[in-house]
Amino acid sequence: MSISTNDLKNGMALNLPEGLMTVVEFQHVKPGKGGAFVRTKLKNFRTGAVLDRTFRADEKVPLAVIDKRDMQYLYREGPALVFMDSESYDQLHVEADVLGSAVDYLREGDTVVLPVYDGSVVGVELPAAVELAVTVTEPGIQGDRVSGARKPATLESGLVVQVPLFVEPGDSVKVDTRTGEYLARV
């Protein structure tokens, strides 16, 4: 299935030779001389790399139909994570390397959106921030309240983040899923 570059919209998925891409932004340009063209900024669905690409106006590009499914993370089985479709209750095994760093933010029972293209999972859509419990961290020393001082803390998912000195084991913290940074104690 193809679509004209004149009909591009933000968020559309395209199946280009460079890989599966989503349109981040686009701009129709009509110079004084020559033909019109469409300047786009595309993001690779799997790697997250951003690519600038220019197309002729009304050029046909292959459209990719991506099915976004709500899935609940059940458990880990070897190198794969097992998800259950929230509507059909089908279970799906997804290799951890397909999900990338997202596995650091998943807890059993969490619901995420898994984009599926051509029968295979092509990534994961996480919320901007998640709440995870601190399992291990060194205690803060009384009187050691240097402004902005941080210490490492291991979270329930295995992720290690830098947290302020007042955070103790058992506390829940909010972590940014895009940068992996501590945001707040919950």
Q: Are 45 and 77 in contact (CB under 8 A)?
A: no
Please report the pLDDT score of residue 26 as a whole number: 92
Residue 127: pLDDT above 80? yes
Q: How far apart are CA 2 and CA 46, in angstroms?
A: 21
CATH topology of domain 67-121: OB fold (Dihydrolipoamide Acetyltransferase, E2P) (2.40.50)
pLDDT at residue 27 tops 80: yes
Give the domain ranges of the chain: 2-62, 67-121, 129-185
**For the residues 115-121, what does the mean pLDDT come to?**
84
Whether 67-121 and 129-185 share one fold: the answer is yes
For residue 131, count CB atoms less than 10 angstroms from its CB and return exposed for 0-12, middle for 13-18, buried for 19 or more.
middle
Residue 96 has what pLDDT?
Answer: 84
Conformation bin of residue 46: beta by default, left when phi > 0, alpha when psi is -120 to 50: alpha
CATH code: domain 2-62 is: 2.30.30.30
Q: Residue 22: beta bridge partners?
A: 13, 43
The CATH H-level (homologous superfamily) assignment of domain 129-185 is: Nucleic acid-binding proteins (2.40.50.140)
